[in-house]
Chain A
Amino acid sequence: MNETTGGIDLEDEDAGGVIKKFMFVNRKAPYGTIYALEGLEVVLISAAFDQDVSMVFMDDGVYELVKGQQTKAINVKNFSPTYRALEGYDIEKLYVERESLEARGLSEDNLIVPVEVLSAAEMGALMDTQDVVISF
């Protein structure tokens, strides 16, 4: 099995050449459940497929990007530095929902990566343009 492409031989890819808009919607807090961590693993694999990838952070998902996460006391790895590495995978479209930030007393300054802040209505319109939406 090819590690970087998650079991797919890209040379044999029968959908080769097709570029779809993939949107990964992160809605859960980073710790407490595994959704955020395993979700990020999917995003990293998708980078190998040369698709048009974007990420959305909304609801408690906005906490995934908050600066200064400290997880030692709960014996869980702090994986938030991985979001900074996304740029190296050419995943640069990160969208955060304004209402979710405001409801939690957060602003763009609290986040570890540069993002584009969109209203719920704008986010809805953006989702409407996607081919594949996977939410965690």
Chain B
Amino acid sequence: MALVEPGPTGVKTAAEAVAAVDHPPADRSSRQLGVLFWFAAGWILLLVICAVFRDLLPFRDPDALGIRTREVRKFEDPSWNAWFGGDGQGRDQFARVVQGARPALIIGITVTLIGGFIGSAIGVTSGYLRGKVDTATTVVIDIFLAFPGLVLLIAVRASFGNSMLVFIVLFSITSIPGYARIVRGASFALSERDFVDAAEAMGATKRRVLWKELAPNVAIPVLSFAFIGFALVIVAEGGLAFIGLSLDEVTWGKLIAEGTGDIKDHAHVSLIPATVMFLTILAFNLAGDSIRRLYSPREVATQRRLRVEGIADVNPDGSVLHISDLYTTLHTPAGDVHAVDGVSLSVRAGQALGVVGESGSGKTMILRSIVGAFALSDVTRSGTVEVAGVDMLRAPRGQVLRTLGTEIGMVSQNPLTALNPVRRIESQIIEPMMVHRGTSKAQARERALELLRLVGIPAPERRLREYPHQLSGGMRQRVTIAIALANEPKLLLADEPTTALDVTVQDQILRLLSGLQQEREMAMVLVTHDLAVVKGFTDSVAIVYGGQVVEYGPTSEIFANPRHRYTVALMQSMPDLDLPSHSELITIDGSPPSLLRPTPGCRFAARCPAAQDVCHSLTPAASERDDHWFRCHFPAEITPVSVGAPADSEAD
């Protein structure tokens, strides 16, 4: 399965790549376009048929008057005889509306093509070249957009007459700035992506970069906008027709305008072409939106829903965090993602648990399952998650929220996004205390100062008045730790707390977290992709693979005697500072398993050097000895595998 599917214009970062696991991309072909798209497509097809073949179709002569044809009377109501009725002169309104499809499409298509092409060319050049070219283009676009285009149209049309050519030229010119603007924005963002640098580094000329690298990627947003632009042209034509500046041809705008005089008694004469115009505009807008959505997978709307199944079991030893037989399933358009697949873990007060896994292993989903935060997803959880005696899956909402606010502290990967950029540090620290514990403002402020000192922030009085952007990455992470500690939680959840930080800062933050956790007798869950991080800072470790815990036990024991083949492979694939340069690393072939379609048997079987037939068919039972738990048919022998050093030299 492809881990990452970038949208054509969206900037894809490593963090997003990880997040993509929550919203696995479906194949484009299988992604649903929806009923609305098919309505839009059907309507547009119908229009095209009418426009192209109108003379071949067995409709009445649109110009023939009812007197002569003896078929349609003046202002005849719509009936089986004349579907859309007759107009004020007894002409068949249906034939006239069909007649209007051709000018609508000719104008719409030519204006969209000319405006779209010229506008895009200007936009992509300006967004890529930047500098003076860009500044000048932007100013010109802004002037154009500020200029009342309709007034210009009226003025010019009044002097140049009603030919379709004049109309097309004028409309094309006025539509250029719109295209130029969106394409410029898209190109600007695209040209910051590495593939543009890569092409330049390879010696590609500017023209080549524009054509080969940027143009194909702006094609989709342009196409999407073109449909909406098309609709705008039809609206504009209607508006002009209404003030008597229509074309010589029969257009919908003209039909509407003609009928308005008699709208009181014979509403259908105006209303029917108006409805056709409305449906056409709607169809083009819907088609444009569908195209955009098709290429921005993140917009695929899933209903936000959080369900719970099954019954809770008991927490035998009064652990602060007790997770038992937890299953978390994300219902996505691509199918059910089995993100957490039968996980049991527990952490007692004063203990730290490391949860280690690669991207897509489900380690972050375990954390999210504890707090019930799944962004925009439809999720079902079953099993037990108990925090400080509260059933987080089934307790009343108020109690769950209270537990989240007072018993759980969270430290996330990116301190900059965890903090609100427009609020001072002070308000962000004191708010949770005032909300959840009813502390007075003065007391909360005192405590905020105390907390900042505790997490090692110099000059805390000054820092309280500052905003997050004024702090370094390490200082921001200290602030989020201070916020997490504000209500003296019993459980601290840290999700990759040092991944975004430099190595010297990482060391400081880990020591700080670990020190506070022990001093305050908190239970801590430290989620990380880096085995080395958990080594000195946790009491127990759970290795996660394919949504399951594959090995679980005391940290020193796991590092000394890893049994599951995945754990062993993970340890061996880390470059070792004790080995000489150019040592060949032991790798894990293949890629992580799909959580969308889990394979039977052991999840690691496909990549495991020791796998045999049974591994592919039968899920291994759990083996346990002295708190060391693992699931493997053919576990590694008990011989120390070196990762850095023997674990006991580091253990606290």
Q: Do A and B come from one complex?
A: no
